[in-house]
């Protein structure tokens, strides 16, 4: 080969650019049709976040696509208008999140088990034209989603939903008859919210009902409205013993409880095996109060209760290491729920520690201490990866602050051991307080 025929030698190696693979939400964004520009913005913000949760908690690629399409088909059309900066364009203040956009997310951690992602929405309706239907009580949106979901998952059962809709829900017609029930009084207007546990191949649908609006219409205690509705269930006999213990205890501490935090929830499956959950909220607690709630004032006992209480007390010490006495009140609002399962005489407690004003760094530190105490090193690594991802969204998320940790809940069972859930979501105002209502029912006797 002559010198003239030699190929030129490049002065520098060719630069090969490797693009990171597209995430499922991005592929779907380029593929799926959206009915409006608002839906595209909802998708960009929510679907990308959901994808991060699913990927970081170990869901397969196929499962990520399945659950993103679930969100696209059933939840996205019902999210309603994008909130503006003044927050005056939303149809109602949300039950699932009175302090921000109508959504919340959580990860469940258990020892030796895969992590589970869950999401909660308070659907606002499918389009601006929904206002023409006068659906001022959110009567249609949750039901619409459940009926659509049932078409692809036949084991979704609406028996209990229909029951509580009759007993606790205020219909559009009732709201009209009673005038503006919530004007200047309620911290939220909606009465139902919908949650889904995302499993690898399916979902578990859950619904939560607030009795607050019904209680004002009936001029009755919201706790009484809730318990009376539960006692009318066809399957109430299966939880009668546990329900009596819980109702008696809540009656004894009723003056301490926050009306807006009284509500119930249940699984939308066969009522013979469905779980029923009863929630309360209690502010300014001390460790003695925590022990009282966990044991229902000594009404539930046993090794399972004691082991769970030990873990809750440990959590308390991580949060308040300088607390000097067990009766020292802390500026903490705790939500509690008790799970009632068929033929179990004891309600199973769960304690929710809230972090509305504390930083994510503080809450993450507490959670890391708890996971280290339990020896959950793999869960600690997952949590740290997830928090790093969420920090990129903290500055502005629908005119809100996205908090990586809003609450941490603790439960315990003899079968599965510790059960820790970490909640996150957008919050508009961390210093928001519930309005005072002129009607107070906290002195009511709930004995049924």
Binding residues for dimethylallyl diphosphate: 118, 206, 208, 275, 277, 279, 352
Print burial letters for 270-288: b (CB count within 10 Å at least 16), e (below 16).
Answer: ebeebbbbbbbbbbebbbe
**Which secondary structure element, helix H or strand E, spans residue 332, and what is its range?**
strand 330-340
Binding residue numbers for L-tryptophan: 104
Q: Give CA–CA dist 314/119, Å, rounded.
A: 28
Burial class (CB in 10 A: 0-12, 13-18, 19+), 228: middle
Binding residue numbers: 104, 118, 206, 208, 275, 277, 279, 352
Q: What token pair was written down for 247?
A: 């109702």
Number of Cβ within a 10 Å radius of residue 434: 16
Q: What is the largest CA-CA distance in the chain?
A: 105
Q: Give CA–CA dist 229/335, Å, rounded.
A: 21
Who contacts 164 (Cβ-Cβ below 8 Å, separation ≥6)? 207, 209, 229, 264, 266
Q: What token pair was written down for 103?
A: 């959504």
Q: Give CA–CA dist 265/352, Å, rounded.
A: 15
Q: Give CA–CA dist 44/382, Å, rounded.
A: 23
């Amino acid at each position: 080969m002559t010198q003239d025929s030699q190929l030129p030698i490049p002065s520098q190696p060719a630069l090969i650019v490797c693009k990171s693979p597209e995430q499922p939400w991005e592929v779907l964004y380029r593929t799926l049709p959206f009915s409006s520009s608002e839906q595209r913005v909802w998708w960009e913000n929510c679907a990308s976040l959901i994808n991060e949760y699913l990927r970081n908690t170990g869901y397969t690629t196929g499962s990520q696509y399945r659950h993103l399409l679930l969100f696209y088909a059933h939840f996205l059309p019902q999210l309603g208008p994008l909130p503006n900066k003044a927050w005056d364009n939303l149809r109602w203040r949300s039950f699932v999140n009175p302090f921000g956009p109508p959504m919340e997310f959580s990860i469940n951690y258990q020892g030796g088990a895969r992590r589970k992602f869950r999401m909660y929405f308070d659907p606002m309706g499918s389009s601006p034209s929904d206002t023409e239907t006068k659906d001022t009580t959110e009567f249609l949106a949750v039901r619409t989603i459940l009926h659509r979901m049932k078409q692809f998952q036949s084991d979704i059962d609406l028996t209990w939903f229909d029951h509580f809709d009759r007993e606790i829900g205020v219909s559009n017609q009732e709201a009209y008859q009673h005038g503006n029930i919530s004007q200047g009084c309620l911290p939220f207007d909606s009465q139902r919210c919908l949650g889904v546990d995302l499993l690898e191949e399916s979902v578990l649908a859950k619904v939560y009902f607030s009795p607050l609006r019904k209680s004002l219409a009936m001029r009755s205690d919201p706790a009484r409205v809730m318990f009376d509705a539960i006692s009318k269930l066809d399957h109430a006999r299966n939880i009668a013993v546990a329900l009596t213990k819980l109702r008696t205890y809540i009656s004894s501490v009723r003056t301490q409880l926050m009306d807006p935090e009284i509500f119930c929830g249940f699984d939308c499956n066969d009522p013979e095996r469905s779980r029923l959950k009863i929630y309360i909220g209690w502010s300014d607690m001390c460790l003695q109060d925590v022990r009282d709630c966990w044991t229902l004032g000594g009404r539930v006992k046993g090794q399972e209760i004691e082991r769970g209480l030990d873990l809750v007390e440990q959590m308390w010490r991580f949060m308040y290491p300088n607390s000097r006495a067990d009766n020292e009140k802390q500026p903490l609002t705790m939500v509690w729920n008790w799970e009632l399962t068929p033929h179990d005489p004891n309600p199973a407690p769960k304690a929710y520690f809230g972090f509305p004003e504390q930083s994510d760094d503080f809450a993450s530190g507490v959670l890391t201490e708890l996971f280290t105490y339990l020896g959950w090193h793999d869960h600690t690594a997952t949590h740290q990866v997830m928090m790093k991802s969420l920090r990129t969204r903290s500055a502005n998320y629908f005119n809100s602050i996205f908090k990586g940790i809003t609450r941490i809940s603790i439960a315990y069972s003899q079968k599965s051991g510790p059960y820790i859930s970490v909640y996150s979501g957008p919050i508009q105002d961390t210093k928001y307080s519930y309005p005072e209502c002129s009607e107070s029912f906290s002195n009511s006797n709930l004995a049924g």
